[in-house]
Structure 1
Amino acid sequence: MSKGNRVKHTIRLPPGLSRQLADFAGRKRVSQASVVEAALASFLSPDGSERMEAAFARRLDRISRQMDKLGYHVDLGNEAFALYLRRWLSVTAAPTGEDSAAVRAEAEKRFSYFIEALARRMERGRHLHDEIVRSGDSGTE
């Protein structure tokens, strides 16, 4: 900080805060007065609060994007399970032990259809939770 004229101030700090100040100044190898001066300058600067607000806004935006992405992936997992369960319950017959290679090939083909149907369903925006809400509404009438 500047080495020009100084005005002496005497302040009292809680013991915990005083220890933190001493520890921080010791780690940074600077005087406690310079730490207090820098902290006050930052706190009192007109753009300091704006910078902090901008940093918080950026962080909140990033968290919001992460939550949106997480929500999408949860929806994807729910839809995959629901679609798989519906298909499995409606079309799966007990396999015979005779042609395991043919059964495996058929399973691969069916799995490919499953992935395509899942992609179409996610693109259309049809979601399991919407169907649950709709079926819950119709059950209360």
Structure 2
Amino acid sequence: MQSKTRMNVYFDPALLKQVEALSLRRNVSKSAVIEAAVASFLSADASERLEAVFARRMDKLGRQIDGLDEELAILGETVSLFVRFWLTITPPLSETAHASARAKGAERFDGFLQTLGRRLATGDRFLKELSRDVDSLRSDSLNSDSGRANGDPA
């Protein structure tokens, strides 16, 4: 058995409470917690481990940003297709119809805002629904294709 040398050190009370809490959680002595912390601090590869932690975090953030980029592209395409479709099918209004169209438009826009508020409050998101719909269509397509491959009629 390797002998250890005793050392007396002073800790900030808050830090000592953290050491005590960790030793209780891990069911080890406070000396073992301190020894592991000092060994980690003095080890040559501590900076490499820290760099690896940062690299993993940066990779995760990069994937999240990629997902946001895709969602933003979908939103932009959706809005542009809607505007193009709406401009294509909507005939111009006569001067006499402008006032009633504005009033009806304001009423419909208020309804839209109320619906939007409800959806945001419940956490429903169009892109989540869209991805669920696309996923279900893909799985239905795969199931029907595998059924045909097994000789099942379509």
TM-score between both structures, scaled by the size of structure 1: 0.58
Q: Which residue of 2 aligns with 1:24?
A: 22
Identify which of 83, 86, 94 aligns with 2:84: 86
Identify which of 52, 59, 62 aligns with 1:61: 59
Q: CA deviation at 1:7?
A: 2.2
Across the two proteins, how many residue pairs are aligned to each other?
91
Q: Which residue of 2 aligns with 1:77?
A: 75
Q: Deviations over 1:14-67 (max 9, x none)?
A: 111111111110121111000000111112111122022112102211211221
Q: Counterpart of 2:9 in structure 1: which amino acid?
A: I
Unaligned segments of structure 1, at least 5 residues: 94-141
Aligned with 2:87: secondary structure?
helix
Q: Counterpart of 2:30 in structure 1: which amino acid?
A: Q
TM-score between both structures, scaled by the size of structure 2: 0.54
Percent identity over the alignment is 40
Q: Counterpart of 1:74 in structure 2: which amino acid?
A: L
Q: Counterpart of 1:32 in structure 2: which amino acid?
A: K
Unaligned segments of structure 2, at least 5 residues: 92-154
Runs of at least 4 residues off by over 2 Å: none
**8 Å contact from structure 1 (residues 43, 49) kept in 2:** no
Cα RMSD after superposing both structures: 1.6
**8 Å contact from structure 1 (residues 25, 31) kept in 2:** yes
Aligned with 1:6: secondary structure?
coil
Q: Which has the higher contact order (CA 8 A, sep 6+)?
A: 1
